[in-house]
Amino acid sequence: MAPDDAPALYAALAGDEVGRYLGGPDLTSVEDARARIERVLRGPGTAAETWLNYTVRLLDSTVIGRVEATVRDGMAEVAWVLGEPWWGRGYVLESARWLVDRLAEERGPIDIWATVHPDNAASRAIMSRLGMVEQSPPYEYELGSWDPGDLVYAYAPARSARNGLAG
Ligand SMILES: CC(C)(COP(=O)(O)OP(=O)(O)OC[C@H]1O[C@@H](n2cnc3c(N)ncnc32)[C@H](O)[C@@H]1OP(=O)(O)O)[C@@H](O)C(=O)NCCC(=O)NCCS
């Protein structure tokens, strides 16, 4: 993701429906998008955590959304947001799989966690398609994206390895 993606990202993600389960709009203006991008590119300011943010594009370069991962302690907290015109076409599953595969390639076995509003059926289905399983509280990690009432999903190859179970 680059600051110059701000206008296209804002245009893609400005629809009201995008923020329905996010507690509000994902981006509120081009300026907000640019400031957010610049902030995430600066990173968290601690070596203990890494922020990864990617703009999702079609092959013709049209910007359709974004995916992100916050990595720490052998785990990554992931999220995805696509613009409404591109829902229902499998793009989010492809983007999410790319993110998860890239994390595994670069970092080896890594647990993947995500939070989701209980009514966000499409996102819950994506999590299941990725092999993620709904977790019960208390959760192993404090999750930055968790809001009261959210469900938590995880795919935990690293935890399985720690517990001596097959991957
Ligand atoms: C969540 C989001 C990424 C899903 O993308 P999408 O393109 O709409 O997802 P899809 O249409 O591919 O649907 C994914 C799955 O959910 C299912 N699904 C979609 N809407 C559904 C509904 N209302 N009820 C039940 N299942 C539903 C689809 O059938 C599909 O399942 P399948 O792969 O087994 O066929 C997209 O809606 C989005 O960006 N929303 C705004 C941001 C957001 O909520 N991000 C997630 C935060 S956790």
**pLDDT for the residue numbered 165:** 62
Reduced to 3 DSSP states, what percent helix, strand and coil does the chain have, rounded to the nearest 5? 40, 25, 40
What's the rounded Cα separation, in Å, for the pair 86 and 107? 30
The CATH number that applies at residue 80 is: 3.40.630.30
**pLDDT for the residue numbered 73:** 87
Q: Would residue 20 count as lying in a domain?
A: no
Task: Map tokens 């970092």 to a residue.
Answer: 107
Structural domain for 114, as ranges: 49-162
- In the reported structure, the alpha carbon of residue 153 is separated from the centroid of ligand 1 by a whole-number distance in angstroms of 15
**Residue having the nearest C-alpha atom to atom 35 of ligand 1:** 125
Q: What is the pTM assigned to this prediction?
A: 0.93
Q: Which atom from ligand 1 is nearest to the alpha carbon of 87?
A: 7
Q: Tell whether ligand 1 has an atom less than 6 A from the beta carbon of residue 123.
A: yes
Q: Would residue 30 count as lying in a domain?
A: no
For the chain, 167 residues long, the average pLDDT of each consecutive 10-residue run is 98 95 94 97 95 98 98 95 97 97 94 97 98 94 93 88 66
Domains in the chain: how many in total?
Answer: 1
Q: Would residue 17 count as lying in a domain?
A: no
